Amino acid sequence: MIWLMFGLLWTLAGSDEIYKNVALRGRGTQSTNFESLSSATNAIDGNLDPDYSHGSCFSSKSQLSPWWRVDLLETYKISHIMVTNRGDCCADYINGAEILVGDSLANNGNNNPRCAQVTTIPLGGTQTYNCFDMKGQYVNIILPGKTGYLTFCEVQIYGAPVAKEESCACPQKCSNDNQ
């Protein structure tokens, strides 16, 4: 049991850094807003309450490929993402969603690489998806090619800051930018 706990802590902490829920300081947006009670920022407010009527959940309108996005305001190494589903109804509205992580806003961020696919999360349940230190400023959740509602109550994104040199695709360009 002790070794299992040590392994989990090592996985979440890395060798010299602690991953924190960086979503809390992010800025949320969405493709559509079901109603004023269902703002994108509700999903990053730190409140795990799975009851939509309490005002801490997100929901899109029914549409083709609904999406939700958080701008983390800088690039992070993303260890894992935890998604809490609604507990009052509609558990299947998130089934088939993709979790994307990257630095691009092309197609509203929906072209970024996939961290995970949501198969199912029970009513009020929380599921963890490992992203294995994918780097990105934006995290999207999208129902690609599917018409319907997208709804959930909380997204926790555990990440560590990326040094500027580490986030550059071309080290020569980065060193030129610093001059």
pLDDT of residue 37: 79
pLDDT of residue 168: 55
Amino acid at site 14: G
pLDDT of residue 167: 52
What is the 3-state composition of the chain as percent helix, strand, coil, each rounded to the nearest 5?
25, 35, 35
Per-residue pLDDT 10s for the chain (179 aa) are 444 333 444 444 444 468 999 999 999 999 999 987 789 999 999 999 999 999 999 999 999 999 999 999 999 999 999 999 999 999 999 999 999 999 999 999 999 999 999 999 999 999 999 999 999 999 999 999 999 999 999 999 999 999 876 655 554 445 444 43
Residue 72 contacts residue 109 (beta carbons within 8 Å): no
pLDDT of residue 159: 98
pLDDT of residue 120: 97
Q: What domains are defined for the chain?
A: 17-177 (2.60.120.260)
pLDDT of residue 165: 66
Q: Which of 63, 69, 82 is nearest to 27 (CA)?
A: 69
Q: Rounded to an integer, what distance in angstroms lies between the CA atom of residue 9 and that of residue 122?
A: 26
Q: Rounded to an integer, what distance in angstroms lies between the CA atom of residue 117 and that of residue 141?
A: 9
- Supply 75's token pair: 């690039």
